[in-house]
Amino acid sequence: MDNGPAGMIYFFNDILRPAMPDIHVTIRQQLSEGDLVTTRKTISGTQCGALLGIPATGRAVNIVVIDIVRVKDGKYLEHWGITSLPEVLSQLQN
């Protein structure tokens, strides 16, 4: 996936939103230093559609995320992230 804004847009619009139409993002903490913004958040919703090959389960999904974004002149340039998505996918398969 692209490390810039296109990758983030793709992840939300083409992967998460079809799988969890009631998607909600809760920002837990956000810090900035220089041109970097770090956000700790939870992405939650109900898995009503396929999520990365896993058929709909109707189960609640909570993905914990830590993102670091480089911003310049108010624009999103680069992104690095760590998520609990692999663990969530494993739980949905069981």
Gyration radius of the chain over CA positions: 14
CATH node for 5-93: 3.10.450.50
The domain limits of the chain are 5-93
Record the pTM: 0.86
Q: Are strands 60-72 and 75-83 parallel, antiparallel or unpaired?
A: antiparallel
Question: How confident is the prediction along the chain (94 residues), in pLDDT tens digits per residue?
Answer: 666 778 778 888 999 999 999 999 999 999 999 999 999 999 999 999 999 999 999 999 999 999 999 999 988 888 888 999 999 999 999 8
Report DSSP letters for 38-93, one per residue.
EEEEEEEEE--S-BTTBPP---EEEEEEEEEEEEETTEEEEEEEEESHHHHHHHHH
Nearest to 8 by CA among 65, 48, 62: 65
